[in-house]
Amino acid sequence: MRSWIAAGIDVVMVLLFAMVGRRSHSETDTVLGVLQTAWPFLVAAVVGSLIALLWHDAYGWRSALTVWLTTVVGGMLLRLASGDTAAWPFWIVAFITLGILIVGWRLIARSVLRVRASRHPDPAR
């Protein structure tokens, strides 16, 4: 169940990435426009999430790195394959921004889960 929640949050992060990018270029934030910008990264994020299932830890560092790198590289390759552009500055911005978003929310989630576990120890252990 956690893997599907993680994949859903990753989708939200990719949509946020697309919305912020469009806004920074003074493009409109219509649903269709955001989806047009986000689709390559959304597809790549889903692929990354499926690969991350191998690690059995949706919030772990291996899953975070797998989803992050697959989202950026796969998203850029899909952009290029569809005839869109992917200049080097965009690669850099995407790596940094998606890294903060995809890895960052997992770091926060792990911290929250650790605090909760320390406050409410599992009696079965």
CB neighbours of 86 closer than 8 A, spacing ≥ 6?
76, 79, 80
Q: What is the per-residue pLDDT across 22-75, written as a single tens digit (0 to 9) for each?
A: 888 877 768 998 999 999 999 999 999 999 988 788 888 899 999 999 999 999
pTM of the predicted structure, to 2 decimals: 0.87
> C-alpha distances in angstroms, 38 versus 60, 122, 125?
25, 40, 44
- The answer for 30, left when phi > 0, alpha when psi is -120 to 50, beta otherwise, is beta
**SS3 state at 27:** coil
